[in-house]
Amino acid sequence: MIVTIRQALNRALGDALEADPDVFIVGEDVAGNGGVFKVTDGLLDRFGADRIYDTPISEQAIIGCSIGAALSGLRPVAEIMFADFAAVCFDQLVNQMAKIRYMSGGQTGLPVTVRMANGGGGAFAAQHSQTGEHWFLNTPGLKLVAPSNPADAYGLMRAAIADPNPVLFFEHKSMYNDKGELPEDPQVVEIGRAAIVRPGESATVVASQAMVGKALEAAEQLAQRGVSLEVIDLRTIAPLDYETVGASVDRTNNLIAVQEAPVGGSWASTLVTEIVGRHFESLDSAPAVVASDDTPVPFGEAMERAWLPDADAIVSAAERLLKV
């Protein structure tokens, strides 16, 4: 059946709540209003106020509550309305949530799933448009998930909620209405496993979330000229699936990483470093990174479009890399 990413996430949350009485949802406007992006719409009617909790406007309270609940044996799903607002509760995320399992010698799990709407394209300006997953890459103990289609959104959400470790789950707000196939009996998707969404031979293009679609557009354009791009959807930012990407680079001998963020401190930088170190002999040329400018996300629609990488930028990078 064809559904939107929003519908797939809603079903995943409902199925998780139904399957496990320890699962509950907490966040601003997640109950009565169904969430600002309507991902939790209808869940209050199905499961009641004991399972779906509205909170004050306090990210620190939401994450603090979730940490305590998880330590008590529950499985909270916390919503931070915009990924940008994770900065408000950064200490709790990186110094508490990420480290409790390690500091307890593995005796204490922390099964918290933190949902965050991220990404640009909606003219929400610099404080509401960032891809915040890059902030957490230097924090061992956190898994970072970023799906790009309904089936992965469902499968990765179910995997995140079942995981004994904290998972930050990023939902691209410009993609909530994107449609795709969701099986009648959807499957859990393994966290940490990338997907080859278009096989190719000339170069490996690695992308996540909205950039996956841009990479596929670029691959279609170049295919008309006999250039075959292999497109990989990371699906998970941490852990990064170096094995799938590396095996692809061994076949194509070229790498292009595409991300919606500046280069510094990003998954693309990390990926390129690891692939060069592990697969140097396979590379015919230096890897290319297609990324946003090193500025805050602009507010003006025309400026934001210019800031976001597009298919033409990927085509240009491939032309330079492959000299076509």
* Residues catalogued as catalytic: 128
Q: Which residue has the tokens 């289609």?
A: 149
Dihedral of the CA atoms 88, 90, 92, 98 (nearest 10)?
150
Query: In this structure, what token pair is assigned to residue 43?
Result: 């869940």
Does the CA dihedral 257-259-265-271 come out positive or negative?
negative
CA distance 198 to 204: 10
3-state DSSP of the chain: CEEEHHHHHHHHHHHHHHHCCCEEEEECCCCCCCCCCCCCCCHHHHHCCCCEEECCCCHHHHHHHHHHHHHCCCEEEEEEEEHHHHHHHHHHHHHHHCCHHHHCCCCCCCCCEEEEEECCCCCCCCCCCCCHHHHHCCCCCCEEECCCCHHHHHHHHHHHHHCCCCEEEEEEHHHCCCEEECCCCCCCCCCCCCEEEECCCCEEEEECCHHHHHHHHHHHHHHCCCCCEEEEECCEEECCCHHHHHHHHHHHCCEEEECCCCCCCCHHHHHHHHHHHHHHHHCCCCCEEECCCCCCCCCCHHHHHHHCCCHHHHHHHHHHHHCC
